[in-house]
Amino acid sequence: MSHGNMNLTLKVWKQKNKDTKGRFETYHAKGISPDMSFLEMFDVVNEQLITENKEPIAFDHDCREGICGACSMYINGRPHGPKGGVTTCQLHMRSFKSGDTIVVEPWRSAAFPVIKDLAVDRSSFDRIIAAGGFVNVNTGNAKDANNILINKDHADEAFNAAACIGCGACVAACKNSSAMLFVSAKVSQLALLPQGQIEREDRVLNMVKQMDEEGFGNCTNIGACEAECPKSISLENIARMNREYSSAILAQNKLHH
Amino acid sequence: MTKSGFVTSSIGKKILMGITGLFLISFLLIHCFINALIFFNDGGETFNKGAEFMGTNWLIRAMEIVLFIGIFAHIFLALKLTIDNRKARPVGYMVVNGSANSTWYSRWMGLLGTLILMFLVIHLKHFWVVSRFTDEITSGKETMFDEMREVFENPIVVAVYCLSMVSLAYHLLHGFQSSFQSLGLNHKKYTPIIKSIGIIFAILIPLIFASMPIVMHFGIIK
């Protein structure tokens, strides 16, 4: 990795585990190349800390190409930093100036407890998916492709919703810590497709119930989630989920009385 | 599956917030229309007729009860949502760049609503209490128009009314379009139209309301 001439001051949240109190630590990142990603800059800092026999900063990362949803840094007051439509791993140091002080915090939500430093536990999202974000299929031989016809508009909308990588930036950005953009993307993706119709009503009821139980806040339509989402998931999905929920409530009363 | 409670769910509360909000918007429209009768500038004759109709018609009187229920429901839900939302983020951020992703008035709906509530208390005391709980109007001693003229003699009252209408304007600027989104009414073609109507409504209605104390104070309408 080529080294550059950027020098930065980092104020990073350090926390031993979820049961201890955290605090901000100041680090100096020296000789950073503008071509490095934000995570690569952290790698450089961590290597330096290791050679100094100090504890490195814990942070989540995996694919480093913007598709896995693992990276989760709240940079200078915005999830995934100052650029729209990108994850932290795709944020490059050229978006900053040498001499800048950068404040890096973990996602803040009661439903995302800090595991260590910048790494948070997002298994609440997994439990929401387990509550209804699936379709039932017959086992046996795989069917021929394309034997279920799907309206092109619906397929496109479903695909847009399916672009959600479950990173949690929507929750981090929301002043209410609401998970509605995430849940609505998952509800929409399956509600729009023929394969998702059988569980359609139970899905939205169970996923919303789980979302509420996990301790996420309530949506007030400020739109920060949509603006900060690295995959630009639209607020239309939240409106769709509200509709799905209302009609599921009505259908449920019809069936159970 | 277990039966889920609509009213206690996050989406249920949000939909109720939207419905009560839209109901209060419809009230604003009617209130503004009746009050605008002062602009006939006929010494309050037309306005007093309108005020008397609103005060005596049984349907309007029944709706007054529904209106109070709507206001209390809107306030109660807002308080509940605010408390829950605080709990959802026990540890806050050191740096928040909210202006990068949302409008300030959408983030401060609770504060704007509180200012409107404070205004509402003053406003009810000025007119509603006088007309319903004293014999000032019913005895024919005074008309609602006289009451308006009297109240708006005080320049501080005029200023409070005008500033409160600024709060109302910003509250509506977010609330109007937000209520449609909460009800799930989001459409590629119609949502931009709803948003435009919302902006016009949020500016026009408070502006007309704010003009009333001003024209009464300076005797332009008498």
Q: Which of B3, B4, B88 sits opposite A215 (nearest CB)?
A: B88
Q: Kindly report, residue by residue over B2-43, the tens digit of the pLDDT.
A: 455 888 899 999 999 999 999 999 999 999 999 999 999 999
Of B13, B103, B186, which is closest to A239 when you measure between CB atoms?
A: B186
pLDDT (average), residues B97-104: 96
Pick from B56, B66, B55, B75: nearest CA to B121: B75
Tokens coding A97: 């100036």
Q: Same domain for A169 and A243?
A: yes
Residues A161 and A82 reside in one and the same domain: no
What is the rounded distance in angstroms from the CA atom of residue B204 to the CA atom of residue B36?
12
Percent of chain B whose predicted confidence (pLDDT) is above 70: 98
Query: Which residues in chain B have Cβ-Cβ distances shorter than 8 Å to A239?
Result: 181, 184-186
Domain assignment present for A34: yes
CB contact under 8 A, B11 and A208: yes
Q: Which tops the pLDDT comparison, A138 or B89?
A: B89
Does residue B7 belong to the interface with chain A, where contact is any CB pair within 8 Å? no
Final residue belonging to a domain, choices A73, A105, A137: A105
If phi > 0 it is left, if psi is from -120 to 50 it is alpha, else beta; for residue A239 that is alpha
Q: From the list B14, B100, B181, which residue is nearest A78 (CB)?
A: B100
Q: Which of A59-73, A160-174, B1-15, B128-142 shows the lowest per-residue confidence on average (mean pLDDT)?
A: B1-15
Is residue A64 a part of any domain in this protein?
yes
Is residue B91 in a domain? no
Strands (E), chain A: 6-14, 23-32, 74-75, 78-79, 101-105, 114-116, 119-120
Query: Is B222 inside a domain boundary?
Result: no
B133 CB within 8 Å of a chain A CB: no
B56 part of a folded domain: yes
- For residue B143, is it within any domain? yes
* Domain assignment present for B177: yes
Task: Indicate if A80 and A188 belong to the same structural domain.
Answer: no
Q: Could you write out the three-class secondary structure of A94-149?
A: HHCCCCCEEEEECCCCCCCCEEECCEECCHHHHHHHHHHCCCCCCCCCCCCCCCCC
Percent of chain A residues topping a pLDDT of 90: 89
Q: Is A108–B89 a contact, with Cβ atoms under 8 angstroms apart?
A: yes
What's the domain range around A187? 122-256
Please tell me the predicted confidence (pLDDT) of residue B2: 47
A128 and A249 share one domain:
yes
Task: Look at residue B50 and tell me whether its pLDDT is greater than 90.
Answer: yes
Across chain B, what does the average pLDDT equal?
A: 95
Nearest CA in chain A to B15: A242
Inter-CA distances, B150 with A118, B42, B142, B158, Å: 62, 17, 10, 11
Q: Does residue A146 register a pLDDT over 90?
A: no
Comparing CB atoms, the residue among A177, A205, A256 nearest residue B85 is A177
Residues of A in contact with B92 (CB under 8 A): 108
Angstroms from A164 CA to nearest CA on chain B: 18
A112 in a structural domain:
no
The strands making up A6-14's β-sheet, listed across from edge to edge, are A23-32, A6-14, A101-105, A74-75, A78-79
Specify if B97 maps to a domain.
no
pLDDT at A139: 86
- Domain membership of residue A204 (yes or no) is yes
A47: closest CA of chain B, how far (Å): 26
Amino acid identity for residue A126 in this structure: D
Domain assignment present for residue A179? The answer is: yes
Number of structural domains found in chain B: 1
Inter-chain touch A240–B186, beta carbons under 8 Å: yes
Decide which of B8 and A126 is more confident.
A126
Are A139 and A226 within one domain? yes
pLDDT band at A3 (very low <50, low <70, confident <90, very high): low
Q: Are residues A93 and A187 in the same domain?
A: no
CB-CB neighbors (< 8 A) of A256 in chain B? 3
Question: DSSP code of A195?
Answer: G
A41 and A68 assigned to the same domain: yes
Residues recorded for chain A: 257
Chain B CB contacts of A223 under 8 Å are 101-102, 106
Q: Are residues A193 and A236 in the same domain?
A: yes
How confident is the model over A128-144, as pLDDT tens digits? 999 999 999 888 888 88
Of A216, A242, A256, the CB nearest to B3: A256
Residue A191 sits in a domain of what CATH number?
Answer: 1.10.1060.10
Buried b (16+ CB within 10 A) or exposed e, A195-220: ebeebbbebbbbbbbbbbebbbbbbb
Mean pLDDT of A5-10: 96
Domain housing B112: 10-85+103-217
Angstrom distance (rounded) from CA A233 to CA A245: 19
Q: Which of B16, B25, B5 is CA-nearest to residue B182?
A: B16
Q: Are A226 and A235 in contact (CB under 8 A)?
A: yes
* The pLDDT value given to residue B81: 95
What is the average pLDDT score of chain A? 95
Q: What's the rounded mean pLDDT across residues A147-163?
A: 95
Query: What span, in angstroms and rounded, lies between the C-alpha atoms of B208 and B27?
Result: 15
Query: Does A84 score more than 60 pLDDT?
Result: yes
pLDDT of residue B3: 53
Question: What residue in A sits closest to B79 (Cα-Cα)?
Answer: A218
Give me the residues of B, 153-192, that contact A with CB < 8 A: 174, 177-178, 181-186
Q: Mean pLDDT, to the nearest integer, of B45-56?
A: 93
Query: Nearest by CB to A175, which of B90, B100, B107?
Result: B107
- Kindly provide the ipTM of the predicted complex, given to two decimals: 0.92
Q: Is residue B129 part of a domain?
A: yes
CA B178 to chain centre: 15
pLDDT at A116 over 90: yes
Coil, strand, or helix at residue A92?
strand
Q: What percent of chain A has pLDDT over 70?
A: 97
> Any idea what the CATH number is for the domain that residue A40 is in?
3.10.20.30
A126 is a domain residue: yes
Residue at token pair 């708006």: B152
State how far the Cα of B177 lies from the Cα of B186, in Å rounded to an integer: 10
Residue at which a domain ends, from A51, A76, A105: A105
CA distance B195 to B114: 24
Q: What confidence tens digit (pLDDT) does each residue in A214-257 have?
A: 999 999 999 999 999 999 999 999 999 999 999 999 887 666 54
How many residue pairs bridge chain A and chain B with CB atoms within 8 Å of each other? Answer: 141
Min Cα distance A212 → chain B (Å) is: 7
Each residue's pLDDT tens digit, B130-179: 988 888 888 888 999 999 999 999 999 999 999 999 999 999 999 999 99
Asked if A243 and B184 come within 8 Å (Cβ–Cβ), the reply is yes
Number of domains in chain A: 2
Same-domain pairing of A126 and A240: yes
CB-CB neighbours of B148 under 10 Å: 21
Q: Is residue B1 in a domain?
A: no
Q: Are residues A148 and A251 in the same domain?
A: yes
**Alpha-carbon span B27 to A151, nearest angstrom:** 42
Within 10 A of A92 (CB to CB), how many other CB atoms are there?
Answer: 18
- Residue A44 is assigned to a structural domain of this protein: yes
Whether residue A221 is found in the same domain as residue A163: yes
Q: Are residues A248 and A163 in the same domain?
A: yes
Tokens of B189: 């073609």
Dmax (CA) of chain A: 71
Cα–Cα distance for residue pair A178/A224, rounded to 1 Å = 10
Residue A254: what pLDDT? Answer: 62
User: Which of A105, A131, A155 is the last residue before a domain boundary?
Assistant: A105
Q: Confirm if B218 and B53 have CB atoms less than 8 A apart.
A: no
C-alpha to C-alpha distance for A203 and A196, rounded to whole angstroms: 9
Is residue A152 scored above 80 in pLDDT? yes
Q: What is the pLDDT of residues A26-52, one digit of tens each?
A: 999 999 999 999 999 999 999 999 999
CATH of the domain at B33: 1.20.1300.10
Whether A161 maps to a domain, the answer reads: yes
pLDDT at residue number A257: 45
B residues 18-77 closer than 8 Å to A (CB): none
**According to the model, what pLDDT value does residue B151 have?**
96
Which distant-in-sequence residues (6+ apart) come within 8 Å of A25 by Cβ? Answer: A11, A12, A14
Interchain pair B181, A109: CB under 8 A: no
